[in-house]
Amino acid sequence: MRDAQPSTIFLSDYSVPDFLIDSTTLRFELGEASSLVCSVLALRRNPDAASQDAPLQLHGTELELVSLSIDGRQLDDSEWSQSGEQLSIANVPASFSLCCETRLRPQDNTSLEGLYKSSGMFCTQCEAEGFRKITYYLDRPDVMSVFTVEIIADQSRYPVLLSNGNLIETESLADGIHKTVWHDPFPKPAYLFALVAGKLAVVEDQFLTTSGRSVDLKIYVDEKDLDKCDHAMLSLKNAMRWDEDVYGREYDLDIFNIVAVDDFNMGAMENKSLNIFNTSCVLAKQETTTDAGFQRVEGVVAHEYFHNWSGNRVTCRDWFQLSLKEGFTVFRDSEFSSDMGSPTVKRVEDVTLLRTAQFAEDAGPMAHPIRPDSFIEISNFYTVTIYEKGSEVVRMIHTLLGPELFRKGSDLYFDRHDGQAVTCEDFVLAMEDASGIDLKQFRHWYSQAGTPRLHVSGTYDEQAQTYTLVVKQSCPSTPGQTEKAPFHIPLAVALIGEAGQLALQLTDAAANIESPDNTELVLNVTEPEQRFVFANIKEEPVPSLLRGFSAPVKLDFDYSGAQLLRLMRSDSDGFCRWDASQQLGLVEIKRAITALAAGQQVSPDSEYVSACRELLANTSLDAAMVALMLQLPSEAYLAEIIHPVDVHGIHHAREALRKALATALSDEFSACYSRCESDEAYAPDAAQIARRSLKNTALSYLMLLDDAQSIALAVRQYESSSNMTDRLAALTYLVNSTAAYKAEALLRFYQQWQHEPLVINQWFQVQAMCRLPGTLEVVQGLMSHPAFDIRNPNKVRALIGAFCGQNGVNFHREDGAGYRFLADQVLLLNRSNPQIASRLLVPLTKWRKYLPSAQQLMCSELQRVLADPELSSDVYEVVSKSLQDYQ
């Protein structure tokens, strides 16, 4: 729990470590009552440190120190001191061996950080600062050491004992105890250390690298999950091949292990050669896992694997540089997923996440640049900004350099910094050095928070046959940053004429990268206001702007309905085509809000309805795109656009519009549904995923008709599906409907799947996300269901997280009961698992966006949380920053 004054750490205070650790030898004696850790550190003064006589200061949190010795001599109590998280030893030699013994109680560690137990298995999570919960150490990423790890445990309870690197010794000891010794030849920071001990079954495979190294691939899971590992294994092999092909990066050890654990704070962790995964990101089979689940497994397996180069071989100097490894690795995994599936769909999904969650973060009290200047608790900075915006920033570099120069840049970065702990600046410099392209102004993306806004206007001069785009950029102020320097924004554009894209020729040479056929350009937007004139334009075009979402900005262009319809029907850029459908949807929702407020009926524009009808009949377009274009902008996205946010008004208008579309297009939705039905054997490939997605989109509209026929269709789909995608979709629509069958469906679902925790999480989530009144009471009831366990983060996310974060209309109940519920859960979890508590709190921190009545109720709950004297630094930082300037 927190000190009286949790302190802020600043990037500007960075200094190199006073000591280095050449080698780290750890011995773990794992027991039921307690476990003993003995560490032997080969320490020496860092020749680069400012002071050559500073005391040795080690990090340690909540540790029981058993003994401490230097070069074999036991220290007495006067030779060391402890304050907060620091252990200090004065007067140490220039180089010495420090031996330290600590006693831990992993079975009582509910924070799931450090060494803990999950379903009877010992496991670790050290990033960012969990290693200091295991032993005293220089727990910072720029201290890299060669680790040797000895694990001693009961053989029958813990037959599998794993750590990083190569297995160098196994031995059976007396009394049913056994021992393994692991050695990792690659120096690494402590955050990449891992240990696992448990009763685990294994799925094995092999991968042959281009240079001929045979790598043993092993996925360790609970015995009952052995049939759910194929997809992860295939994804791993695909990722290994892809990284060789696209980045020229090979795997560097003879063994690569993945272990699945039930209790895990996030998705997975890239520990060197021993990745630890949340079961939800590794297990998949058609009966239990949705298409989205399959895609998540593929993406996360690849992400963690890619970290072996972008994160492990080249790591971060300090935690302010987190996006160096996370932004780059997300960019790598999203390109991989794009290559494995449908690129446009992947892009739309990524943009959707960015525009909802990240834009909201950038506009809220926790807004921070992708390289933050300060933090109180680093765990709070594993954010959509660091990850997703960080990835967009790398993508922009890729756009500005082009694929060949970008590859030259990444080669230079990996070669130049292999084995080092470096900064975002080192990454940008490698890109600049390799390409010769100046990224000076581009660097503002690393230091400035907030979502830039582009106001674009277009004028056609028929006489001169020119088309002029005027681009103005601005960026709102964010906490601690009122003035922003202009960004360097790559703006991809095309001009669409009656018969397709026009050839582009700028009157001055301000532009840069051109498509091979000269119909697409990337404009370098660098000034607060800039003008781009296109010559030889023979008709008034419709501009297609920010193609492929070429920069993480908000773009305003005053399109007419007819222009948007043209883009929606014929733009060759999938993102812009989809975005045009969303802008049209937004116009209709705004009209619906006005109509409902005036007590009128919601009737969508006939042109819009026709365009949707055309879409439903369009069999040449990717079915997944059709599905995405038919889905109206989400309530979360609308909350980013319409201010102040009237959650209920938006919800009712959107639902009324959906119902009007369902009524107007019921025959088309039915026909589309039938067309998408198939009895083909399940595969999580792009074509099938697309078809299921369109089929379920059609069903979701049909269910709004609330007639016996549609309900029967959903019941039939629910009962007859052999895959979880269709089954869960049907269950979701039934639960949100008036169908009498829903209670039975929920009960039968539970009975069938009660022994599969990941399926039961989906069952919790469907109920938590039900839009009907009374859902809060249902959620409260489910918290005492035998299958619920507040210590398991997946369950907390499925029930509490989904209710508070994804069920706006119920969370924002006008009596404030939703807010009270969340604050209660945060206060409870603050004591057991602060990381989960502070993440859960996020929906309340967005209070400034809502109507005054909601604001007041939300703030009083935040104040109640802030008043808890035992607040963790995690929750303290989020709640105090969100209440800053609140009267």
- State in angstroms the smallest separation of the CB of 394 from Zn ion: 13
Kindly report the backbone phi and psi dihedral angles of residue 136, in degrees, each rounded to the nearest multiple of 5, phi listed first: -70, 135
- State in angstroms the smallest separation of the CB of 272 from Zn ion: 14
Amino acid at position 666, single letter: S
β-partners of residue 147 are 24, 184
What is d(CA 145, CA 136) in angstroms, rounded to the nearest whole number? 14
Closer of 238 and 474 to ligand B3K (Cβ): 238
Q: Which stretch binds ligand B3K (CB under 6 A): 266-274, 549-557, 563-571, 776-784?
A: 266-274
Q: If binding is defined by CB under 6 A, does position 270 make contact with ligand B3K?
A: yes
Closer of 410 and 838 to ligand B3K (Cβ): 838
Indicate which single residue of 123, 266, 533, 842 sits in contact with ligand B3K (rule: CB under 6 A).
266
Find which of ligand B3K, Zn ion, none residue 128 binds, CB within 5 to 8 Å per kind: ligand B3K
Find which of Zn ion, ligand B3K, none residue 361 binds, CB within 5 to 8 Å per kind: none
- State in angstroms the smallest separation of the CB of 625 from ligand B3K: 29
Q: Which stretch binds ligand B3K (CB under 6 A): 230-238, 300-308, 364-372, 684-692?
A: 300-308
Q: What six digits make up the tokens of 373?
A: 């200047």
Number of residues counted as binding Zn ion (CB under 5 A) = 2
Closer of 318 and 646 to ligand B3K (Cβ): 318
Q: Which residue has the tokens 């021993």?
A: 274
Closer of 387 and 669 to ligand B3K (Cβ): 387
H or E stretch including 762? helix 757-768
Question: Is the peptide bond prior to 55 cis by the omega test (within 30 degrees of 0)?
Answer: no
Q: Which residue has the tokens 């974060």?
A: 805
| CB atoms closer than 10 angstroms to residue 849 | 18
H or E stretch including 208? strand 201-208
Indicate which single residue of 26, 58, 68, 128 sits in contact with ligand B3K (rule: CB under 6 A).
128
H or E stretch including 532? strand 529-534
Q: If binding is defined by CB under 6 A, does position 243 make contact with ligand B3K?
A: no
Q: Which stretch binds ligand B3K (CB under 6 A): 193-201, 299-307, 358-366, 403-411?
A: 299-307
* Three-state secondary-structure class, residue 504: coil
Among 301, 320, 330, 165, CA closest to 235: 301
Q: Which stretch binds ligand B3K (CB under 6 A): 261-269, 425-433, 470-478, 660-668?
A: 261-269
Closer of 326 and 392 to Zn ion (Cβ): 326
Residues in Cβ contact with 667 at an 8 Å cutoff, skipping those fewer than 6 apart: none
Find which of ligand B3K, Zn ion, none residue 269 binds, CB within 5 to 8 Å per kind: ligand B3K
- State in angstroms the smallest separation of the CB of 830 from ligand B3K: 16
Q: If binding is defined by CB under 6 A, does position 235 make contact with ligand B3K?
A: no
Closer of 303 and 813 to Zn ion (Cβ): 303
What is d(CA 684, CA 292) in angstroms, rounded to the nearest whole number? 9
Kindly report the backbone phi and psi dihedral angles of residue 480, in degrees, each rounded to the nearest multiple of 5, phi listed first: 85, -5
Site for Zn ion in 299-358 (CB under 5 A): 326, 329
> What does the buried/exposed string (b/e) look like for 657-676 if buried means 16 or more CB atoms within 10 Å of the residue's CB?
bbebbbebbbebbbebbebb
Q: Which stretch binds ligand B3K (CB under 6 A): 301-309, 401-409, 599-607, 693-701?
A: 301-309
Active site (annotated) includes residue 304: yes
Indicate which single residue of 114, 115, 127, 395 sits in contact with ligand B3K (rule: CB under 6 A).
127
- State in angstroms the smallest separation of the CB of 381 from ligand B3K: 9
Among 787, 792, 759, CA closest to 265: 792
Q: Report helix angle 686-703 to 724-735, nearest 10.
A: 20
Amino acid at position 404, single letter: E
Residues in Cβ contact with 598 at an 8 Å cutoff, skipping those fewer than 6 apart: none
C-alpha distance from residue 449 to each of 321, 439, 714 (Å):
15, 18, 45
Residues in Cβ contact with 197 at an 8 Å cutoff, skipping those fewer than 6 apart: 28, 30, 121, 122, 123, 151, 153, 158, 160, 161, 162
Binding mask 305-324 for ligand B3K (x = CB under 6 A): --x-----------------
Indicate which single residue of 225, 326, 388, 726 sits in contact with ligand B3K (rule: CB under 6 A).
326
Amino acid at position 256, single letter: F
Q: What six digits make up the tokens of 383?
A: 């954010």
* Three-state secondary-structure class, residue 853: helix
Q: What six digits make up the tokens of 13?
A: 């205070």
What is d(CA 881, CA 887) in angstroms, rounded to the nearest whole number? 13
Q: If binding is defined by CB under 6 A, does position 133 make contact with ligand B3K?
A: no
Q: If binding is defined by CB under 6 A, does position 298 make contact with ligand B3K?
A: no
Find which of ligand B3K, Zn ion, none residue 379 binds, CB within 5 to 8 Å per kind: ligand B3K
Q: If binding is defined by CB under 6 A, does position 289 make contact with ligand B3K?
A: no
What is d(CA 698, CA 691) in angstroms, rounded to the nearest whole number? 11
Find which of ligand B3K, Zn ion, none residue 266 binds, CB within 5 to 8 Å per kind: ligand B3K
Closer of 307 and 395 to ligand B3K (Cβ): 307
Indicate which single residue of 304, 333, 335, 861 sits in contact with ligand B3K (rule: CB under 6 A).
304
What is d(CA 456, CA 555) in angstroms, rounded to the nearest whole number? 7
CA triplet 232, 237, 241: central angle to 5 degrees?
A: 145
Indicate which single residue of 269, 456, 592, 826 sits in contact with ligand B3K (rule: CB under 6 A).
269
Q: What six digits make up the tokens of 573?
A: 């850029």
- State in angstroms the smallest separation of the CB of 570 from ligand B3K: 39
Which residue is closest to ligand B3K by CB?
127
- State in angstroms the smallest separation of the CB of 213 from ligand B3K: 24
Q: Which stretch binds ligand B3K (CB under 6 A): 234-242, 268-276, 486-494, 764-772?
A: 268-276
Find which of Zn ion, ligand B3K, none residue 859 binds, CB within 5 to 8 Å per kind: none
Beta strand 201-208 with 145-154 is: unpaired
Q: What six digits make up the tokens of 70?
A: 């230097």
Site for ligand B3K in 338-397 (CB under 6 A): 379, 382
Backbone φ/ψ region at 91: left (φ over 0), alpha (ψ -120 to 50), beta: left
Find which of Zn ion, ligand B3K, none residue 184 binds, CB within 5 to 8 Å per kind: none
Closer of 303 and 408 to ligand B3K (Cβ): 303
Closer of 379 and 762 to ligand B3K (Cβ): 379
Find which of Zn ion, ligand B3K, none residue 657 binds, CB within 5 to 8 Å per kind: none
Number of residues counted as binding ligand B3K (CB under 6 A) = 12
Closer of 261 and 730 to Zn ion (Cβ): 261
Closer of 270 and 668 to ligand B3K (Cβ): 270
Catalytic residue among 304, 388, 588, 668: 304
Q: If binding is defined by CB under 6 A, does position 874 make contact with ligand B3K?
A: no
What is d(CA 541, CA 535) in angstroms, rounded to the nearest whole number? 12
**802 contacts 768 by C-beta, under 8 angstroms:** yes
- State in angstroms the smallest separation of the CB of 308 from Zn ion: 11
Closer of 268 and 593 to ligand B3K (Cβ): 268
> What does the buried/exposed string (b/e) look like for 511-545 if buried means 16 or more CB atoms within 10 Å of the residue's CB?
beeeeeeebbbbbbbeeeebebbbeebeeebbbbb
Give the residues lining the site for Zn ion (CB under 5 A): 326, 329
Please give the positions annotated as active site: 304
Give the residues lining the site for ligand B3K (CB under 6 A): 127-128, 266, 268-270, 303-304, 307, 326, 379, 382
